[in-house]
Amino acid sequence: MSKSIRGRALTGTALALAVSTVLTACGAEDSSSTGTKSEGTASATPTVAVKEPLVATFDGGLYILDGKSLKLATTIDLPGFNRVNPAGDKDHVVVSTDSGFRVLDATGQALTDIEYKGAKPGHVVRHAGRTVLFTDGTGEVNVFDPTALSSGKKPEGRTYTSAEPHHGVAIELADGTLVSTLGTEEKRTGALVLDKDNKEIARNEDCPGVHGEAAAENEAIGIGCEDGILIYKDGEFTKIDAPDDYGRIGNQAGSDTSPILLGDYKTDPEAELERPTRVSLIDTEKKKLRLVDLGASYSFRSLGRGPHGEGLVLGTDGALHVIDPNTGKVEKKIPAVGKWQEPLDWQQARPTLFVRGHVAYVSEPGKKALHAIDVETGKKIASVTLPKSTNELSGVVAGH
């Protein structure tokens, strides 16, 4: 999640699941140059090696692509609605399936036997060298060192089970402190903090509809609410209120190089699907919230951060909006895809953003396309046309 990983206002099913991504030399891939693997295929030497692999979902499976050339290397059959998030090392991606979290060896181009079973696998969070999985249907939290995945066996790790199953999220800090959401299937209220022995040391229940998290500079953790955002830093919770009675922040993107979080912002609790044009910038040091109007709407798969902490938002105008988080100014708009509209069903495909280093990867399902864009120069590095339209987009990300 990526995902992890991502929001809807007062739509029960969507809230329970939405955790949780201009063609240049686009040519259809020659199918003879790619391999297709059935579900659960054991790792073998790939016919086409990939560098810094990307993983994209489509209806019925996964595509593994080279992160440099965007060349399609392998297709893996995997029925159902699948979600993908970085596992936290240089080789693996976590796939959320109907039965739980499964680990994909993206470099080796095969699903592994590592699985965390449970109904409604939700957010995947990477921070301080640990990866945390939250299973909504059971309330179970699993924490592990992602570098241990290379052994091919499920890593030994910490587990915690929430008092009630709910659509939640958890993050472990560098000192072993675990921040995890509070709620039930019907109502989510806030977050609690556990020490490394799972003993509760703090809680805050002033965060209705709690959803999503992100980490800012100096380990300030933001947790979204329907009336603002909750910040946990240096052992204390602080609530930053939204300027509206209902001001929902449900999806956030953080950067280790910035004290400011980028969030979405919705104000209509009755909307079947609100298409907001404003995003939120939350200063975790000054405890202030600023709204920025982009002049274009976006979706829960539109938010990212650049290599220097820039705020990145993929708008329905087809542009990648680059925001200075300190001033709130949109510094530039990089043409990325054609104009689009967010579909009503959150599981339907829409252009998706995945950022790794200085490269923004953007999918364009309407054209079965995928693009790589240099955030700093605004130049399109590569584009590819795939056999089928993709939905979610992620890749390997080592170190966090």
Indicate whether 300 pLDDT > 90.
yes
CB 309 within 8 A of CB 16: no
Indicate whether 122 pLDDT > 90.
yes
* Cβ atoms < 10 Å from Cβ of 115: 15
From residue 55, how far is each of 263, 336, 371 by CA, in Å?
Answer: 24, 19, 13
What pLDDT is stored for residue 35 in this prediction?
61
Between strands 100-105 and 330-335, the pairing is unpaired
**Positive/negative CA dihedral, 25, 29, 35, 37:** positive
How far apart are alpha carbons 127 and 4 in whole angstroms?
Answer: 12
Buried b (16+ CB within 10 A) or exposed e, 244-271: eebbbbbbbbbbeebbbbbbbbbbeeee
- Note the pLDDT tens digit of each residue in 219-270: 999 999 999 999 999 999 999 999 999 999 999 999 999 999 999 999 999 9
CB 304 within 8 A of CB 356: no
> pLDDT-derived band of residue 46, with 50, 70 and 90 as boundaries?
confident
Average pLDDT over residues 296-317: 98
